[in-house]
Amino acid sequence: VANTMISTSNVVERPKVDLPAWNSEYVMWFHSDTGNYGAAMVGVATAKTPCGPYTYKTSWQPLGAESRDEGLFQDGPRDIANQTSYLLYASDNNQNFKITRLDANYYNVTTNVQTLDGVTLEAPGIVKRDSVYWPIASHTSGWAANPNKYFLSTYLSGTWSAQNDLTPENTNTASRYFSQNAYDLPLGTNAICMGDRWRVDVLGSSQYIWYPLSWASGVPQIVYADVWSVDLTAGIVALLFLFYSCLLTAILGTYTVATGTNSNVHLDATEHHYTEENICGEQHVRPWGSGTLGVAGGVAVRGSG
């Protein structure tokens, strides 16, 4: 778009689309920036259908503050009386995390309802469950994955809990299986955790990964599964296979796993091309050799039973 922030040399990323209850127009918010990430803006575009085409409106810094990785959160049922939406964004050189209310048309922001100072969080989403708000976000480490965090509050403008890990802290899976939070979609009493798996050498070939997000333990935790299905009517997911994974550098030998085993998965933090194999039945012994997996490392099992 001539004479705007939309050009081949600038950045448009992390789009989120919302639909006001009183408007038939879909509104897209996105991180709008220069190629060196110096502008730190949000952008807005609108369309008559969720798939577009979209008409670009403008880019700016919300309430005069920097905005980089951002998200949207719609609070309340989709009706005129109760629905409110918020912009969630990393601000002030990514040091502070802000929650700012949108106007009635979702074209602009109105007031800042929360600033969490010094938390260095980005890529935010929020799941509301049983009247509790659960933000999910990552820390700032460029394109490299890091342990994503959750925390909670009963009010967006209230006091927030300490940050906690979304995946087990004592394993390499703490990097959220090599991904960064993108969006968190409520599903029944749980959610689907959507993430970006970045390829810094070819960003256009980066992938989205989706995992079930469960509150079975009382707090949100990613449920790892290579293959799973969604029942939208019932609001549940089903894991389809019991399987194990091992590092490219796993030790020589065999590993025995019984149906129902569910353990943490150990993955190499620098190598994404790990070996995976589906297994089923009562019990299995799986051998591996040096030609396949190398000479040092570890192995773990996981499954749904």
146 or 60, which is more confident: 60
In whole numbers, what is the pLDDT of the chain averaged over residues?
A: 79
Do 170 and 187 fall within a single domain? yes
Number of domains the chain is built from = 2
User: 143 in a domain, yes or no?
Assistant: yes
Residue where a domain stops, chosen among 188, 207, 238: 238
Which residue among 196, 222, 238 closes a domain?
238
Q: For residue 261, is pLDDT > 70? A: no
Q: Are residues 217 and 153 in the same domain?
A: yes
Same domain, 268 and 286: yes
Is the pLDDT assigned to residue 91 strictly greater than 80?
yes
pLDDT at 156: 97
> Within a domain: residue 267?
yes
Verify that 125 and 232 share a domain, yes or no. yes
Per-residue pLDDT at 226? 72
pLDDT at 124: 96
Same domain? 200 vs 262: no
3-7, 165-169, 191-195: which range is least confident on average?
Answer: 165-169
Length of the chain counted residue by residue: 305
In the predicted structure, residue 245 carries a pLDDT above the cut 90: no
Whole-structure pTM value: 0.77
212 and 275 assigned to the same domain: no
Percent of the chain, pLDDT > 70?
74
The model's pLDDT over 64-84, given as tens digits with 9 standing for 90+, comes to 999 999 999 999 876 766 789
Same domain, 187 and 249: no
Beta carbons within 10 angstroms of residue 170's beta carbon: 9
Same domain for 251 and 230, yes or no, is no
Please report the pLDDT score of residue 50 as a whole number: 94
pLDDT digits (tens, 9 = 90+) for 9-50: 999 999 999 998 888 899 999 999 999 999 999 999 999 999
Is residue 243 pLDDT above 90, yes or no?
no
Residue 138 shares a structural domain with residue 198: yes
Asked if residue 230 and residue 155 are part of one domain, the reply reads yes
Q: Is residue 129 part of a domain?
A: yes
Determine the average pLDDT of the residues in 117-135. 96
Provide the residue range defining the domain that includes 202: 120-238
Has residue 71 been placed in a domain? no
Domain assignment present for 14: no
Domain with residue 131: its CATH number is 2.115.10.20
**Do 276 and 193 lie in a common domain?**
no
